[in-house]
Amino acid sequence: MALEPGLSRFAWLSIGAALATLALKWWAWWITGSVGLLSDALEGFVNLGAALVALWALRAAMRPPSAKHPYGESKAEYLSAGIEGTLIVVAAAGIIATALPRLLKPAPIDEPVLGLGVSVAASIINLAVALILIRKGRAQHSITLEADGRHLMTDVWTSAGVVAGVALVAFTGWLILDPIVAITVGVHIVWSGVALMRRSVLGLLDTAIAGDEVSEVTAIFTEYSKRYGVSFHALRTRQAGARRFVSFHLLVPDEWTVSRAHKLSEEIESRIRSLVPNAVLEVHIEPISDPASYDDQTLDR
């Protein structure tokens, strides 16, 4: 089972939200002249770029396996997350660079109430879309949708911090708070970007599936070993986007027919698929008493 074909519509939702919030945030900065709100507006470009990359990755991940890509193109989702993380870090650097000069020459903020109102409206849009993307990404095991949703959620918290900072400037008159808030926002965004890039790298390095899913598989092995006197070894797992790849060796009694061993293998595979979402299984059947069956457990056998 691959990604749900209609998932690309959620990327289009993210693109629409990015365009709307980008316009609102730049309007808020134009009204106020706040470097804090400018930092928030600059991140809007990152949101748009990330949404476009997410659309490409989802379309690639949904393509069926082909002669050129026999395992599909689901790893495109990790590339998407890595690009998004990089964009976030670049945006953070731009925010900090923009805010530093204001530390030396603080500037007043114009029309703070109207500007903050516009910024809050943009944040409400991002919050609604972020919750939708995260929920759908988890349900479909799509790192692209979940990463995009978490990025938007980070943007919501960022905007909340900016709004609070600009409000403090308006009420206290401490102009230096504006660039300090912007720099704090930039540092916070860096952590979000680095986390996304780390997750992307781990996926491209064929990281094993989640520990609880591996436990489910080994529990099935234990159950069938007791019931049928069979054995298992060479369990290997990896994940590529929404897909989970599971391979293992099934050792059966020597007197079993190929048909009987295959029937049991099909039953075990069905059980695993019911517990591990989007699992692609590869099973190698061997005679349990043949010494050669125990010489091929390593990857480089």
287 in the same domain as 195: no
pLDDT digits (tens, 9 = 90+) for 214-252: 999 999 999 999 999 999 999 999 887 767 899 999 999
Domain boundary among 204, 225, 246: 204
57 DSSP assignment = H
| DSSP assignment of 44-109 | HHHHHHHHHHHHHHHHHHTSPP-SS-TT-STTHHHHHHHHHHHHHHHHHHHHHHHHHHHHHS----
- Res 1: pLDDT: 42
- Res 231: pLDDT: 95
Domain boundary among 165, 182, 204: 204
The two three-digit tokens of residue 153, written as one number? 């959620």
- Res 5: pLDDT: 52
Do the bridges between strand 279-287 and strand 243-252 make them parallel or antiparallel, or are there none, so unpaired?
parallel
- Res 128: pLDDT: 93
The two three-digit tokens of residue 267, written as one number? 């039953």
- Res 6: pLDDT: 66
Low-confidence stretches of the chain (pLDDT beneath 70): 1-6, 35-36, 39, 102, 107-112, 242, 299-301
pLDDT digits (tens, 9 = 90+) for 193-220: 787 788 778 777 778 888 889 999 999 9
- Res 56: pLDDT: 83
- Res 301: pLDDT: 59
- Res 248: pLDDT: 96
- The three-class DSSP label of residue 58 is helix
Do the bridges between strand 231-240 and strand 243-252 make them parallel or antiparallel, or are there none, so unpaired?
antiparallel
Domain that holds residue 93: 5-204
Nearest to 173 by CA among 221, 108, 110: 108
In a domain, 198, yes or no: yes
Give the total number of structural domains in the chain: 2
224 in the same domain as 192: no
